[in-house]
Amino acid sequence: MSLLPIKVYGEEVLREKSVNIENLDGEAVEFLENLRQTMVLAKGLGLAANQVGKTVRAFAIDLSQFDVLAEPKVIINPEIMEIGGDIVTAEEGCLSFPGLYQNIERSDKVTIKSINLDGKEYLFEASGLVARVIQHEIDHLDGVLFIDKLTPAQRTLIKRKLTRIKAGERV
């Protein structure tokens, strides 16, 4: 296992659109395991592949604390099938923005289609915080960051913090 360095805001790769993993070979599986372990050690709720510099459509998610599944897992080639429920505002952070927490609006429910490590398709229905994390991570795969969801007023308030994050500081 090797830990992967997490890219912070300002690095181009965070703005790139990722592509599906076509071949789940040993190398891909090893990368996904490293991604998962990196998230766990960084104490994140989620970590997308491009946050460690690889533009493939996969992310790690820690579901353990929501009692949904027993342990952190990786979601591969996710696709949103359905999104809805109430629009809920809650505080979000991101491992690529150390120390920054902002209120973000998200849908309360999401159903995704994904594949497991054997390449088998499955549907996953989530609500609440899990649905929030999934939307945040899928945004990453499209090069979208949580700060893109802020109101102009919120953005103005964090301008200096963003400059500091770009400079490698924790805010």
Residues with catalytic annotation? 137
Task: Mark the segment that binds Zn ion (CB under 5 A) among 10-18, 53-61, 74-82, 88-96.
Answer: 88-96
Least distance between Zn ion and beta carbon 150 (Å): 14
d(Cα 146, Cα 94) in Å, to the nearest integer? 8
Question: What's the Rg (C-alpha) of the chain?
Answer: 15
- Residue with smaller CB distance to Zn ion, 75 or 94: 94
Residue with the shortest CB distance to Zn ion: 94
- Residue with smaller CB distance to Zn ion, 31 or 137: 137
Least distance between Zn ion and beta carbon 120 (Å): 27
Residue 165 contacts Zn ion per CB under 5 A: no
Least distance between Zn ion and beta carbon 131 (Å): 15
- Quickly count: other Cβ atoms within 10 Å of residue 60's Cβ: 27
Residue 94 contacts Zn ion per CB under 5 A: yes
- Residue with smaller CB distance to Zn ion, 58 or 94: 94
d(Cα 139, Cα 148) in Å, to the nearest integer? 10
Label residues 118-141 b or e (16+ Cβ within 10 Å = b).
eeeeeebebbebbbbbbbbbbbbb
d(Cα 74, Cα 10) in Å, to the nearest integer? 25
Summarize as ranges the residues that interact with Zn ion (CB under 5 A). Answer: 94
